[in-house]
Amino acid sequence: MTRARLSPARLSAVDVLRVGAAGLRTRPTRVILSALGIAIGIATMIAVIGISSSSREQLLRQLDRLGTNLLTVAPGRTLFGDKAKLPTFALSVVKRIGPVNTASATGTVDATVRRTDHIPEAVTGGISVQAASTELLTTLEGSVSKGIWLNASTEHAPAVVLGSEAAKRLGLGRTGVRVWMGNQWFTVIGILGPMPLAPEIERSVLLGFPAAATYLAFDGHPTTIYERSGEEAVEAVRAALPRTVNPETPEQVEVSRPSDALAARAAAADAFTNLLLGLGAVALLVGGVGVANTMVISVLERRKEIGLRRSLGATRGQVRIQFLSESLLLSALGGVAGSVLGALATAGYALTRDWPPVVPPWAIGGAIGATLVIGTVAGLYPAMRAARLSPTIALATT
């Protein structure tokens, strides 16, 4: 006589989760502690990625605001290694390049600045004195925070405008005061706001080209030319600049793009980020070992429960999936908590720095993926052990 074939019923996904969660509910302390390990790892990684993304976003927005179409031209070195000079006509020829919208120049003046004539010359506080053309503020898209900028009449006068950093170092917070340069007093008529693309201007005391020549024996050679063109023409202008500025020895001209320095800063931060990410990964690994440990103990403690389930008709596979789902839930719990913590840390840090908080979706996706992998790997061995237990274990009276 033939009997109906026996085949075990499938557990629904909901039942698998219920059974897995039931195992966790009865041991809350242990669950929290081992999920904490995963949470710390995930939180570290999310925070590291989030903070560096926020910082990059901040730099990108800054670049966006400042523009990437500013180029600077500076003298390089001669064949003999001496500092070369830009010709005096350099600014006027740069202005004549088609796509150039605005150009201006500064020239380093061999002079020092002091608040009074009593302070010895050596104490100059790293402030340089520069002649500046009146268009400089326009080219750099800068602004004055106090007073006025140089104009057609003040560029001839013994008047100076201080870069923001120079004003700070000199301890000057207002206009109308005087500073001592060369052998003469100059009146401060303005103080500039921040110049993120030209930090050297922030550290300078600026006066007109004519005034520099008149009062400080300036030779009229510019040392930096700033120019802006249409964004699309930047590369072409960059290629044309050396020959335009110095047709005879174009190799003695250096052209650079200040926005590149900001972009490089973003890239440099990445190296550090990778180091911290490595630390996060180690924390995560330790967390995974914690979960595996918890699961192994759990299997040992619950041999009777496993035997009972086998007697109720659970297959080996169903026992295995029960412990796997428990392990997955455990690490998912840590993953979710860690993601939330990491995102909060990112938001908190970014807000104190006035950055836009950014947690990239791929980081969250990666965190979920990592916890799933960890949960599976950590649960695999304990689950196999549980599945291999003999069903008779439930009957053992000890």
Partner 1 sequence: MSIVELQGVTKVYGGRVEALRGLDLTVEYGELLAIVGPSGSGKSTMLQLIGTLDRPTSGTVRIAGYDVAELSDRELSALRARHLGFVFQQFHLATGVSALDNVADGLLYTGTALRERRERAEAALQRVGLGHRLGHKPNQMSGGEQQRVAVARAVVGDPPLLLADEPTGNLDSHSGAEVLRVLNDLHAAGTTVAVITHDTEIAEWCPRQVRVRDGQIIAGDGRRPPAEIAKGARP
Q: Which residues bind partner 1 (CB under 8 A)?
A: 1, 3, 5-12, 14-15, 18-19, 22, 25-26, 304-305, 307-318, 390-392, 394-395, 397
Q: How far is the CB of 337 from partner 1 (least distance, A)?
A: 23
Rounded to whole angstroms, the Cα distance separating 339 from 360 reads 12
Q: How far is the CB of 18 from partner 1 (least distance, A)?
A: 8
Name the one residue in this structure whose structure tokens are 């989760």.
17
228 vs 320, beta carbon nearer partner 1: 320
174 vs 388, beta carbon nearer partner 1: 388
Residue 13: Cβ-neighbour burial (10 angstroms; 0-12, 13-18, 19+): exposed
21 vs 336, beta carbon nearer partner 1: 21
Nearest to 36 by CA among 369, 329, 285, 337: 337
Q: How far is the CB of 383 from partner 1 (least distance, A)?
A: 16
21 vs 60, beta carbon nearer partner 1: 21
Helices assigned H by DSSP within the chain = 13-25, 28-66, 90-95, 136-139, 164-170, 199-202, 209-216, 234-245, 258-301, 303-312, 316-353, 361-388
Tokens of 249: 């020895």
Main-chain phi, psi angles of 194, to 5 degrees: -65, 145
Helices assigned H by DSSP within 105-257 = 136-139, 164-170, 199-202, 209-216, 234-245
3 vs 118, beta carbon nearer partner 1: 3
31 vs 197, beta carbon nearer partner 1: 31
Q: How far is the CB of 297 from partner 1 (least distance, A)?
A: 17
53 vs 318, beta carbon nearer partner 1: 318
Q: How far is the CB of 300 from partner 1 (least distance, A)?
A: 17
The amino acid sitting at 253 is V
Name the strand (E) or helix (H) holding 253. Answer: strand 253-256
Q: How far is the CB of 329 from partner 1 (least distance, A)?
A: 17
306 contacts: CB under 8 Å, gap ≥ 6: 299, 319, 386, 389, 393, 394
Name the one residue in this structure whose structure tokens are 């031209």.
73
217 vs 395, beta carbon nearer partner 1: 395
Cα distance from N-terminal residue to C-terminal residue, the chain: 41
Rounded to whole angstroms, the Cα distance separating 162 from 36 reads 54
Q: How far is the CB of 298 from partner 1 (least distance, A)?
A: 14
Main-chain phi, psi angles of 332, to 5 degrees: -65, -40
Q: How far is the CB of 292 from partner 1 (least distance, A)?
A: 24
